Copies of this chain bind each other. A is one copy, B any other.
Amino acid sequence: MTVEELSAFLDATFPAETRPSLGEIVGIAPGSVRMSLQPTANMLRPGGIVSGPTLMALVDVAAYAAIAAHHGPEPMAVTNALSITFLRACKVEPIMADAHILKLGRRLATIDVRIWQGAEDRLIAQSTVGYALP
């Protein structure tokens, strides 16, 4: 899939109202997908930082996009489990999410997603996501 095809798949899959809060595809590589999100005021929490749920939604969609790009556009893949560790406060600056497939099995896919700002090793959060494949 190309970036355009994957973007179109996400556009068709999520409600138009929520789609903008889920970020944009910026790159696809073997086993991985990169997304970016520009935070807006409704994503903030006390302290003027980006909220955890905003980042969890980005993690979830990035994992979903990685499966779509490598397994095929499968709208019915559902999150089975997700664990996330928050490492630094997320500023109101562009947010990057790199999703790497750790294992693509027949029934389960496991994806590592790293959220960063400014530089790839300045991690904001790390998450491991399991998706059940239909």
Residues of A within 8 A of B (CB): 13-15, 17-18, 41-47, 51-53, 56-57, 60-61, 75-76, 78-89, 102-103, 107-108, 110, 112, 123, 126, 128, 130
Contact = CB atoms under 8 A, between A and B. Distances in A.
Contacts of A61: 53
A123 B103 contact: yes
Contact of A130 (B45, B78, B85, B123): B85
A125 B118 CA distance: 29
Nearest to A45: B14
A79 to B, nearest CB: 4
Contacts of A108: 80
A18 B75 CA distance: 26
Contact of A128 (B14, B15, B79, B126): B126
Given A56-B82, A81-B85, A83-B83, 19 more contacts: A13-B46, A17-B42, A47-B76, A51-B60, A52-B60, A53-B53, A56-B57, A78-B89, A79-B86, A80-B86, A81-B84, A81-B86, A88-B103, A102-B123, A102-B126, A103-B123, A110-B126, A126-B128, A128-B128
A76 B19 CA distance: 28
Contacts of A86: 78-81
